[in-house]
Amino acid sequence: MDQGATVDERLEALGAAIRKARTSQGITQAKLAQMIGQSNGQAYIVRVESGASVAMTVIIKIADALGMRVDDLIDF
């Protein structure tokens, strides 16, 4: 993704990267939510994967849960 991408475009790319990593590992949205301690469950992960704004602490938790580095998710 080029440097001229909007914030929304970057959030969508982050969501897509999370979705790709999650599905490649056979993890459901509900399971990922449980792994990161998110009480809102699947609905929260749906929002994240749809490009909603997400706190850096959540990105770190998701990367840890997927056994990845944060920069693997935001390499766009």
Dihedral (Cα; 47, 63, 4, 12), 10-degree rounding: -20
Dihedral (Cα; 20, 21, 22, 26), 10-degree rounding: 90
User: pLDDT band for position 75 (50/70/90)?
Assistant: confident
pTM of the model: 0.90
User: pLDDT band for position 1 (50/70/90)?
Assistant: low
User: Could you tell me which residues come within 8 angstroms of residue 1 by beta carbon, excluding any fewer than 6 positions away?
Assistant: 9, 10, 13, 76
Which is it for the CA torsion 75, 21, 64, 49, positive or negative?
A: positive
Percent of the chain, pLDDT > 70? 97
For residue range 29-59, list pLDDT tens digits in order: 999 999 999 988 899 999 999 999 999 999 9
